Amino acid sequence: MLSTSSLNDGPNLMRRCLLQLARRALPGLLTVLAAAPAGAVDLYVAPSGQDGNPGTAALPFRTIGTAARVATAGTKIHVAPGLYTEILETSASGTAADPIAYVSSVPGGARIRTEGPEDHWSWTNRGSHVQIAGFDVSGNGAGGIDNFGTNVQIVRNHVHNIPALGCTGNGGAGIAASNYTNKNVIISHNLVHDIGEFPEPCSRVHGIYFQHKGGHIVNNIVYRVTGWGIHFWHAPLRIEIVNNLVFNNAKGGIGGGAGDGPYFDDPSKPADHITVVNNIAYDNAGIGIEEFGLTGTSNFYSNNLVSGNEQDWSLQHGLSHSRTVAAAPGFVRYDPDGNGDYRLRADSPAIDQGTAKGAPIVDYDGVARPQGRGMDIGPFEFVP
């Protein structure tokens, strides 16, 4: 069961569901956090803390930003449940062996609520080898989490109710992988909804926005976005978009290409080697899965369920999609506003129709894949 929530939401059904799912899935998903790295240092943040404290469990900091400023490679920042109103700018970097982790100690319990200029992002991360896990993020600006770092994981967050007013040239998103020269960003198991002035369409405001080389967009659920649920643009190359659910978005489900900076329509720099498999694109006002701008000929579209959109497909250069399921997904209960149950019924046409190519080993709930003869399409694996 998923439901929308307001900027000042309380412990509603959405949060209860999110916490239940995250408690099951987070330990299996963030295996790199399960064992403390060699240089591990634990810092603690709580609404009852003080920034003059040493940041221990007994004497925590008050703000996440203070912990970030003293973090070094291997630091794990535990953020207690409660309300945090700071606009975050984090720049500390870890290493491959010793990443820096910002973790809501109760998944979904640390609520970031920002107020500021209309173009502000609630959390801008510029550090590399960083993990951001389990936060509830909302604000009155243009975006939720904006990442400029390399080798970053953004996982199990709930990003919602971002107004991104006016469809301006600066645009906005729930979660963005920015900085055109970055690599290897994972955006996984996030719930993103009510981004932009929905239902008005806007081509500059998206649920998940990916802009560079190398990355994985996996097991996310995105709905009620004024642009595309998942959008790749600028300099995307060799990214995998796998086992996501995008529904009821104003411009379309999954779409993109290369254009604007940094290459400005250089024909030698298309969006290429984009893998789009095992996704459900359903009931979107625009096109379910779409290519536009500069795209290459090595993009791969297979084993997706695409149905009920204004138009289901639009690919370029004669590319075709394969093993597509063109039928209603067979959810337990569908509701376009997030109040449904988007797991699969026993008679769903998505069951066992996915591919193992790029598929995650667990689903949105943390259930192991596959449960049947093959992978299921979408973020939920059906358990007989």
- For 298-318, what is each residue's pLDDT tens digit? 999 999 999 999 999 999 999
Please give the angle made by the CA atoms of 336, 338 and 342, to the nearest 5 degrees: 90
- For 34-85, what is each residue's pLDDT tens digit? 344 555 699 999 999 999 999 999 999 999 999 999 999 999 999 999 999 9
Q: What's the average model confidence in pLDDT over 230-255?
A: 98
228 domain-assigned: yes
CA distances from 16 to 2, 97, 208 (A): 10, 34, 23
- For 327-364, what is each residue's pLDDT tens digit? 999 999 999 999 999 999 999 999 999 999 999 999 99
- For 108-142, what is each residue's pLDDT tens digit? 999 999 999 999 999 999 999 999 999 999 999 99
CA nearest 256: which of 210, 322, 197, 312?
Answer: 210
- Per-residue pLDDT band for 21 (boundaries 50, 70, 90) equals very low
Count of structural domains within the chain: 1
Q: Which of 24-33, 164-173, 277-286, 325-334 has the lowest mean pLDDT?
A: 24-33
CATH number of the domain that residue 180 is part of = 2.160.20.10
**Residue 5's pLDDT is what?**
33
**Residue 38's pLDDT is what?**
52
**Residue 39's pLDDT is what?**
56
**Residue 266's pLDDT is what?**
95
5 domain-assigned: no
Model's pTM, two decimal places? 0.91
Q: What is the mean pLDDT of the chain?
A: 91
More confident residue, 237 or 1: 237
379 domain-assigned: no
90 domain-assigned: yes
205 domain-assigned: yes
Range of the domain at 67: 13-344
**Residue 176's pLDDT is what?**
98
**Residue 6's pLDDT is what?**
33
178 domain-assigned: yes
309 domain-assigned: yes
301 domain-assigned: yes
